[in-house]
Amino acid sequence: MTEEQLRDYYEEKTDRLLTELCIPRYFKGFSYLKEAIVGVLCDSRFPGYVGRSIYAPIAERGGTTVPRVERDIRHAIAAAWEKGSVTLLRDHFGRGAGAAAARPSNTRFIRAAVKALCAGYARDPQLTANRV
């Protein structure tokens, strides 16, 4: 699988995950989260790249500021936490997930999404067949 195909795969899977978590696509935070998650998945420095440094390239590409990217991502995570499936949130974020629990930080959310997508990649039979 080429790097471009892998990026496309991760973009599709990330899009699906964020949608399942009830983050509206029209939120700017949806696209920023997607870009951050796919960036971490495709970056050779993973997992050390997850953190504040990930916002600057997203802000630059989006023509906005780092604080706005952070805020929009927080807003998207809040939507998932308030409206998302408690079962699905618990699957990815542990037993304390859901509307009653404190929502995760942006970094923790991105790391959990990356972990979930990596686990899905390892179990995907189509991709496993292509690795050999």
Give the Cβ contact number of residue 100 at 10 Å.
8
**Model pTM?**
0.83
The tokens for 35 are: 């870009």
Which residue in the block uniquely carries the two structure tokens 């604080």?
67
When divided into structural domains, the chain yields a total of 1
pLDDT in tens, the chain (132 residues): 788 888 899 999 999 999 999 999 999 999 999 999 999 888 765 555 566 788 989 999 999 999 999 999 999 999 998 888 778 877 777 766 555 567 888 998 998 898 888 887 666 655 544 443
Give the CATH number of the domain where residue 41 resides.
1.10.10.10
Q: Domain residues for 80? A: 3-131
Distances in whole angstroms, Cα of residue 37 to Cα of each of 8, 12, 47, 95: 13, 11, 11, 22
